[in-house]
Amino acid sequence: MVEEQLIPRGIRDPLVLEVMGEVPRHRFVPPELAGRAYGDNPLPIGLDQTISQPYMVACMTELLVPRRGMRILEIGTGSGYQAAVLSALGCEVFTMELQRAHAERARGLLVELGYGGVRVTWGNGYGGWPEEAPFEGIIVTAAPEAVPPALIEQLAEGGRMVIPVGPVHSVQHLKLLTKAGGRVTERVLFGVRFVPMAGA
């Protein structure tokens, strides 16, 4: 996966590549799909949600410029795979999931696999996690039609947010938002297709 999918497509951060090669992705997909876990494609995990393809996980992680001790908010826990990758990089991860069944399953799996430091909550990601804000990084793994204002407010000075934006049946774009001097700069990266961010 690392040698054939990530490096050829431009993932360069050696720590991200190392962690992507270590986190057991097959544990975060339904058992019947474990044999396809390392393919270059998203997979369904139930309740109309998917686990993103490995390249997208690595790309979004690299865009955050993660470092040990960095406080990161993830919106859209899903199976918990993205949270595990960030935790393996030494980040302090706060992850929020709208579907309670996914949140509880992910919490149990993360503890079982040794990522017990990840804080998992069940709630509406549009409001973020104000009690734990600000965050040096925010990563959103489902697409809202516009960037939620609460997430911008909860982004720390100097922080970075990676988020897909756009309607489910039209063009979506992956965006990188940075906050400096109290101002937010937005950069459009490339077209993507994510499940919609529910709960608006």
Instruction: Residue 94: give its domain's CATH number.
Output: 3.40.50.150
- Is 15 contained in some domain? no
Region 138-156 average pLDDT? 96
- Is 23 contained in some domain? no
- Is 131 contained in some domain? yes
- Is 181 contained in some domain? yes
- Helices marked H in the chain: 14-22, 54-63, 81-88, 100-112, 149-154
What pLDDT sits at residue 199? 83
In angstroms, the CA 22 to CA 13 distance is 15
- Is 199 contained in some domain? no
pLDDT tens figures, 98-125: 999 999 999 999 999 999 889 999 999 9
Region 137-153 average pLDDT? 96
Nearest residue to 88 (alpha-carbon basis) of 139, 27, 16: 16
Domain with 146, as residue range(s), is: 55-192
- Is 188 contained in some domain? yes
Nearest residue to 96 (alpha-carbon basis) of 55, 155, 138, 42: 138
What pLDDT band is residue 42 in, cutting at 50, 70 and 90? very high
- Is 160 contained in some domain? yes
Q: Are residues 54 and 119 in contact, defined by beta-carbon separation less than 8 angstroms?
A: no
Q: Are residues 95 and 119 in contact, defined by beta-carbon separation less than 8 angstroms?
A: yes
Does residue 49 carry a pLDDT above 90?
no
- Is 87 one of the catalytic residues? no
Domain count, the chain: 1
- Is 39 contained in some domain? no
Tell me the pLDDT of the chain averaged across its residues.
Answer: 95
**Considering 52, 79, 87, 170, which one is annotated as catalytic?**
52
Does residue 182 carry a pLDDT above 90?
no
Lookup: tokens for 83: 């949270």
What pLDDT sits at residue 56? 96
pLDDT tens figures, 53-71: 999 999 999 999 999 999 9
Does residue 200 carry a pLDDT above 80?
no
Region 178-186 average pLDDT? 94
